[in-house]
Amino acid sequence: QSVLTQPPSVSGAPGQRVTISCTGSSSNIGAGYDVHWYQQLPGTAPKLLIYDNNNRPSGVPDRFSGSKSGTSASLAITGLQAEDEADYFCQSYDSSLSGYVVFGGGTKLTVL
């Protein structure tokens, strides 16, 4: 059971827009901690996609965007492409116990 909750799967046709939600609580996202997103292509290590809620590292297309509100965050992908088919994970920090990094359970994006 992951501390951050993501839908197990989402899907969309090429060219469409999809969003992936990441729901936390008052001890992580709701406490003001930033949310980061990773893309994991099959058989590869995760790659940083969005950091600090809505910032893209160099080289990440602007089709990817992030947002955060209250105890949740979202990743939006516009102009969906076949190469976007991957697993997506959100990450934040939780202040409970002694404080630790937490991940969402991951969302499998299928491009129809």
Partner 1 sequence: QVQLQQWGAGLLKPSETLSLTCTVYRGSFSDYYWTWIRQPPGKGLEWIGEINHSGNTNYNPSLKSRVTMSVDTSKNQFSLKMRPVTVADTGLYYCAGGDGWFFRWGQGTVVSVSS
Question: Where along the sequence are the contacts to partner 1 (CB under 8 A)?
Answer: 2, 34, 36, 38, 45-48, 51-52, 57, 89, 91, 93, 97-106
Q: Quickly count: other Cβ atoms within 10 Å of residue 9's Cβ.
A: 12
User: Are the CB atoms for 9 and 110 separated by under 8 Å?
Assistant: yes
Closest contact distance (angstroms) between CB of 13 and partner 1 is 26
Residues with Cβ < 8 Å from 10, sequence gap 6 or more?
18, 19, 20, 107, 108, 109, 110
Closest contact distance (angstroms) between CB of 14 and partner 1 is 27
Query: How far, in Å, CA of 53 to CA of 34, rounded?
Result: 6
Closest contact distance (angstroms) between CB of 102 and partner 1 is 7
Question: Smaller CB distance to partner 1: residue 53 or 72?
Answer: 53
